[in-house]
Structure 1
């Protein structure tokens, strides 16, 4: 339990940093414009955490993951501007990711799992807000999976490499086929790279289940939106990255909880 608690704390802090990456990363990667208030140096470390509306610098009491957001009721203490719910969501998910990794997996594999989950949720946040899945997030997720396999605490290296290659080629094939049939973009390269990362962590046998679970989740969300009156047509953009990231995370966390026969059906080695 001590390891799980420590990983839960690390996940809370990691979720807080994930918010920094999700907010500033798109600017650094060229996906978004630099904030008007930002002058001089601008990166993940500088300027310090502040309210994007009024520029108020956040003190230590305003930087406690989850608790600060709840205490402030989602508002800036200086100007009262609304703080995006994504800040609370990523911090809470980070804490849950760390706790789950510590409870479900042995050390040191649990540490690697937490790192992957933090990368996945950051990638999902960036894609949902910008429509891009940057290499700066999908690349480390992929290479971390291959590294873990090489250390002997994850998949067999051959299965990890084959899973990564097959995942990338499969979605690239779907992307090219869609472009040929419809004459426009469907899936992006980032989706293929993210599925490659899933293949490196879960193996080639898991790829159909990742895609099916992601597609099912997307259909459920789209159906719920349509039921609330949102217009959904053939050309409606669906950012698939968050669903892929969620499916990879769900299948990874499910493996220790299901019988070996079910885990084998889901592609476990």
Structure 2
């Protein structure tokens, strides 16, 4: 018996993107997709676009408590064996669902599949490949190397370990991967599944400090401490927010790195050699470090 997909799209005022998202789902060539869009009561062109695709998709447009609440609502309204959610500004690549279903149907022990992905701009052009890595739970605690729209999981995990934490506004997906990954190994298929859109006003780029703070607090609550990588990233974003220094200017970025190191000193009682080495690497070789990726992503704005 063929496994059925349930796909949920949370949406709010994404009329300029959502049709591309819908088409990327419906063009997968699979007839039995249970696709629902949970819109938060948008007052742009979203509802008119949703009406165009009835009855191929189901949708609701009503006030909700945010993205996590919308996804959880959508999950509760569906019955498919395999669950995925894709935000209303992201897209799936052709052939993704067939590749995923083939693995799930042939290997019953696999409960989560994730693929590779790209960061894309507003025109669907690739900015940079998402830094996906092979499955390693300890490494996942240090950095979120899994791109949210490139993940598919069995409904049984919802029943065993719960759905999204609705108290989270930014890192609800990361928290879910950490929760599930504690109990099951994820299967990485090195095939590009999705494009995750990056632009100035989306949550990831537009509210970097709030997003990093939420990650730090979530990790602290879950594990009792915050990994160095996340603490360093948070300190850098905080320093950037405080100083308004330009990371694209080679002189100013060195000041920014130094100030972020001072923030780490304030936040941590003991500074590990790993942090010192990485900060020195940032300082002397910014174009070889993660700053190169940041500059590429934010340079699109």
The normalised TM-score by structure 2 is 0.27
Which structure features the higher share of strand residues? 2
Q: RCO higher in 1 or 2 (8 Å CA, sep ≥ 6)?
A: 1
Q: Greater helix share, 1 or 2?
A: 1
Tell me the TM-score normalised to structure 1 length. Answer: 0.29
